[in-house]
A and B are shown apart, each in its own frame.
Chain A
């Protein structure tokens, strides 16, 4: 006989606390994503234009080839030893942002490489500087095709936020573990966390598909006269 025992009253009772913790999950995911977008662009441009590209490439490779959970622990326990004491959420956001920046840098690189070289030459012939060419000519063309890939990374990062529960960031999974340790019932809280993640992921995927279609139409219209 199965020991599975689902109690709806308990599920309804813990739902508000888990939904409140979901706000922290969303905040952590969005902040990490913004950090990853900025750092990723910085990494991509650094590897293209600035000295030390090999060193930056090695560091990015190192970060990509090691688990984000260990990186989160590393920053959480090692940063205070260097005198830099940050709260758990900030440390987690930095760790996730840094980890995914190395992946997003490759997305930016692919987007920039996709722009025809004639665009660089034409902008240079107009007398624009290297950074001005990148900012005003190349990036506006490189970004639209990579937006869907960036959107996928937002969903991936959102699903990675439970890693932050390891350093006591009270997001959904941590809240579920706290509830479980207080009540000795894990079935309902953990199941609800899974369901909320599924719901939010489906909603994000739907929003990204809509956005992708809109961008696709925009690109098609832009290219129509040529």
Chain B
């Protein structure tokens, strides 16, 4: 594989993990704001 693809995929994986964590915290924040 070429370097561009390797690092491109690596960045994408990091982005997806960070987004999932951020989304999880947003859901948690909304639930806590509703008092649940």
Contact = CB atoms under 8 A, between A and B. Distances in A.
> Mostly helix, strand, loop or mixed at chain B's interface?
helix
Interface in B1-36: 2-4, 7-8, 10-11, 14-15, 18-19, 22
Contacts of A81: 2-4
Interface stretch (A20-28, A63-71, A142-150, A151-159): A63-71
Nearest to A77: B3
Contact of A70 (B2, B4, B14): B14
A73 to B, nearest CB: 6
15 contacts: A62-B11, A65-B14, A65-B18, A65-B22, A66-B15, A70-B10, A71-B11, A74-B4, A74-B7, A74-B10, A74-B11, A77-B4, A77-B7, A81-B3, A81-B4
A78 interface: yes
> Which size class do A's interface residues fall under?
10 to 19
Interface of A: 62, 65-67, 70-71, 73-74, 77-78, 81
A73 B7 contact: yes
Contact of A65 (B7, B8, B10, B15): B15
A135 to B, nearest CB: 34
Contacts, number: 33
A54 to B, nearest CB: 16
A78 B7 contact: yes
Closest 7 CB pairs of A and B: A65-B18, A74-B7, A77-B3, A66-B14, A78-B4, A66-B11, A65-B15
Nearest to A67: B14
A98 to B, nearest CB: 13
A73 B22 CA distance: 24
A65 B3 contact: no
A62 B12 CA distance: 9
Contacts of B14: 65-67, 70
A62 B14 CA distance: 9
Contacts of A71: 11
B12 to A, nearest CB: 8
A63 to B, nearest CB: 9
Given A65-B14, A65-B15, A67-B14, 16 more contacts: A62-B11, A62-B15, A65-B18, A65-B19, A65-B22, A66-B14, A66-B15, A70-B11, A71-B11, A73-B7, A74-B4, A77-B4, A77-B7, A78-B3, A78-B7, A81-B2
